[in-house]
Amino acid sequence: MFVYSTEDGRMCPSCRKPVAACVCNLLASSGPVGDGTVRVSRETKGRGGKAVTVVRGLTLDAAALSALGKRLRTACGAGGTVKDGVLEVQGDHCDRVIDCLKKDGWMVKRAGG
């Protein structure tokens, strides 16, 4: 394993480039990769019987996802959160969320029945 060079200093073991010019972190942080379809579903499991509208498949960075979540929560008049790239809106607002996302130009599917 090649981890140090007298010419360049510390080397990345994955891409074998100097740590200052490593591209491994850029590839890993490029964001989630999906099929381009946003899936909206309603879940109650693990929430004490309360319905939550879940939006998956958005290929946005954290700041843009947070801003979109704010707009969707405002449109639905409900609370919610963003966890691990998944947007959650409290309550059963699937139809309203789908309409808002389609207006923004997303390709949306209703998932889970």
Q: What does each of the 113 residues of the chain score in pLDDT, given as a tens digit? A: 455 555 667 777 777 677 777 777 655 554 455 677 899 999 998 888 899 999 998 888 888 899 999 999 999 999 999 988 899 999 999 999 999 999 988 899 998 86
Per the confidence metrics, is the pTM higher than 0.75?
Answer: no
pLDDT at 42: 93
62 and 73 assigned to the same domain = yes
Please, what is the angle between helix 62-76 and helix 94-103, to 10°? 120
pLDDT at 49: 85
pLDDT at 111: 87
The angle subtended at Cα 78 by Cα 58 and Cα 100, nearest 5°, is 45
98 and 71 assigned to the same domain = yes
Domain count across the chain: 2
Q: Which strands form 80-83's sheet, in the order they lie side by side? A: 80-83, 86-90, 52-56, 37-43, 107-110
48 and 89 assigned to the same domain = yes
Residue 110 makes CB contacts below 8 A (sequence gap 6+) with 39, 40, 41, 94, 98
Q: List the one residue out of 26, 24, 17, 32 whose CA is nearest residue 65.
A: 32
36 and 23 assigned to the same domain = no
